[in-house]
Amino acid sequence: MTRDRAAKAALYLVLCAGLLVVVGPFLWMALSSLKPEGEIRAVPPTWWPDTWTFANYRDLFARLDFPQYFTNSAIVAVLVTVGNLLFCSLLGYALAKLDFPGRKALFLAVLGMLMVPGMVTFVPQFVLISNLGLANTYAGLVLPFLAGPFGVFLMRQFLQSIPDDLLEAARVDGAGEWRIFWRIVLPLCRPALATLGILTFLASWNNFLWPLVVATTDDKYTLPVALALYSIGQNRIYFGLLLAGAVVVVVPVLIVFLALQRHFLRGIATTGLK
């Protein structure tokens, strides 16, 4: 009995140490963003702020254009999420429940795309977007991400579990396929749509490489791009501002994640994919 208790205590100790290593950096980031510049660079470093200040956040929103970057990130993430929910559920339904020529080939092509590294499509996508005159526009930031293969895979898996009898009954009652889709299928898909929605939103919010090359002026930067450009190169800004900027990037994600984490982690575990 005591041996069991000792084992359990050791387990908790290890888990707590692990938690400190994983979450500690985020706590330090949040606390340090509330320190004045001099204290952030102090040697030896402090953990708890000696002096509390909101100056970093004030500067971030007043002197730099962070409200604009925040808006850009939100616009892009919302458009990409809505597009994926719509297009992926439409195709997912067709692949799972409708019989049409070319269905198998289409599914294999979409599935195969999951293996293609981003760098393969990166350069031609840039050439394409530039030639369509969409560089440095919201359309250019959004279009390549509207139809994600992963979403199709997820929606198809989920839709296959919907009983055919249900759809057949609706067909017998004279409902067309579109009516069935909007009235019966989509409401049943809510859990899968929630998972896909959260995953897509987070991926888009954190997306970095594409907006880095497509957004070329200040007014189209997303948050990660702005933060990266301010943290490296000639535009380097004060450390306090950087840390406050990092907090601004993380907090919306944190809120979405904490509010929906049950849903989210279960969805990932069942689809078995990130």
Partner 1 sequence: MTAIATAGAHRAGRTAQAGAKRWRRAVTGWSFAAPFTVLFLVFLALPVVASLVMSVTDMRATDLRTPFAVDFVGLGNYQRLFGDDLFLRAALNTVVFVAAGVPLTIVAALAAANALNSGLIRFRALFRVGFYLPVVTSIVAIAVVWRFLLDPEAGLVDDLLARVGVDGPNWLGDTRTSLASITVMAAWRNFGSLMVIFLAALQGIPANLYEAATIDGAGRWQQFRRVTLPLMRPALLFGAVITGIGYLQLFEEPLVMTQGGPLSSTLSVSYHIYNQFGFGNYGYAAAASYVLFVAIVALSVLQFRLLGTRDD
Structure tokens at 263: 């849903």
Residue 74 binds partner 1, judged by CB under 8 A: no
Q: Is 136 in the site for partner 1 (CB under 8 A)?
A: no
Q: Contact between 105 and partner 1 (CB under 8 A)?
A: no
Measured from the CB of residue 52, what is the shortest distance to partner 1 in angstroms?
Answer: 19
Number of residues that bind partner 1 (CB under 8 A): 94
For 184-205, the three-class secondary structure string (H helix, E strand, C coil) is HHHHHCHHHHHHHHHHHHHHHH
Figure out which of the listed residues 144, 156, 192, 240 binds partner 1, where binding follows CB under 8 A: 144
Question: Binding segment for partner 1 among 55-63, 64-72, 121-129, 159-167 (CB under 8 A)?
Answer: 121-129
C-alpha angle 83-256-78 in degrees, rounded to nearest 5:
20
Q: Among the candidate windows 25-33, 51-59, 159-167, 188-196, which touches partner 1 by CB under 8 A?
A: 25-33
Nearer to partner 1, 169 or 273 (CB): 273
Whether the bond between 44 and the residue before it is cis, its omega within 30 degrees of 0, is yes
Asked if residues 156 and 228 have their Cβ atoms less than 8 Å apart, the reply is no
Which range binds partner 1 by CB under 8 A, 17-25, 52-60, 61-69, 158-166?
17-25
CA distance 214 to 81: 19
Shortest Cβ 23–partner 1 spacing (Å): 5
Number of C-beta neighbours around residue 268 at 10 A: 14
Radius of gyration for the chain, computed over Cα atoms and rounded to the nearest angstrom? 24
